[in-house]
Structure 1
Amino acid sequence: MQISSRFSIALHIFACVDAFQATHKMTSDFLASSIQTNPVIIRNILSQLRRAGLVRIARGTGGITLERALKDISFYDVYAAIEPVERGALFRFHESPNPNCPVGKNIHKILDHKFTDIQSAMEAEMRKYTLEDIHRDLLCLNAVQGAVTQRSF
Structure 2
Amino acid sequence: MAVVSRYTVALHALTWLAYMSRDKDEFFASDRIANSVNTSPVFIRRILGQLAKARLVSVQHGGTGAGWKLARAAEAITLHEVYEAVVQTPLFELHHSGPNLRCQIGRGIQPALGEIYGETEAAMKRQLGSTTIADLVDSSLAHGEDGKEQASDGPQG
Q: Which of the five TM-score ranges fits, normalised by the shorter chain?
A: 0.7 to 0.9
Paired with 1:23 and 1:68, the residues of 2 have a C-alpha distance of 11
**Shift in CA distance, 37/119, structure 1 to aligned 2, threshold 3 Å:** same
2:6 aligned partner: 6
In structure 2, what is the equivalent of residue 34 of structure 1? Answer: 36
Q: Structure 1 residue 24: deviation in Å?
A: 7.5
Moved more, 57-66 or 35-44: 57-66
Structure with more contact order per residue of length (Cα contacts < 8 Å, sep ≥ 6): 2
User: SS of the residue aligned with 1:106?
Assistant: helix
Residue number in structure 2 paired with 1:80? 84
Question: Retained in 1: the 8 A contact 2:28–2:68?
Answer: yes
- Provide the identity percentage: 30
- What is the aligned partner in structure 2 of residue 125 from structure 1? 127
Flag structure 2 segments of 5+ consecutive residues without an equivalent: none
What amino acid is the match of 1:15?
A: T
Following TM superposition, where does structure 1 have runs of at least 4 consecutive aligned residues deviating by more than 4 angstroms? 138-142
Matches within 5 A, 1:43-54: 43-54=45-56
| Counterpart mapping for 1:108-119 below 5 A | 108-119=110-121
CA drift of 1:53 comes to 1.0
Aligned residues: 146
Question: Could you state the TM-score of these two structures normalised by the residue count of structure 1?
Answer: 0.83
TM-score, length-normalised on structure 2? 0.81
SS across alignment from 1:121 = helix
Compare 92-101 and 37-46 and name the one that shifted more: 92-101
Deviation at 1:49, TM superposition (A): 0.3
Any idea what the Cα deviations from partners look like across 1:42-61, whole Å, max 9, x if unmatched? 00001000011111100123
Q: Which residue of 2 aligns with 1:68?
A: 72
Q: CA RMSD in A?
A: 2.2
CA distance in 1, matches of 2:102, 2:117: 23
Q: Counterpart of 1:57 in 2: which secondary structure?
A: strand
Compute the displacement of 1:140 (Å). 4.3
1:110 deviation in Å?
A: 2.1
Q: Which amino acid aligns with 2:4?
A: S
Structure 1 CA distance, aligned partners of 2:31 and 2:107?
53
Contact 2:28–2:69, Cα closer than 8 Å, also in 1: no
Q: Distance in 2 between matches of 1:58 and 1:44?
A: 15
Query: Which sits farther off after the overlay, 103-112 or 115-124?
Result: 103-112
Give the corresponding residue for 2:138: 136
Structure 1 gap ranges (5+): none
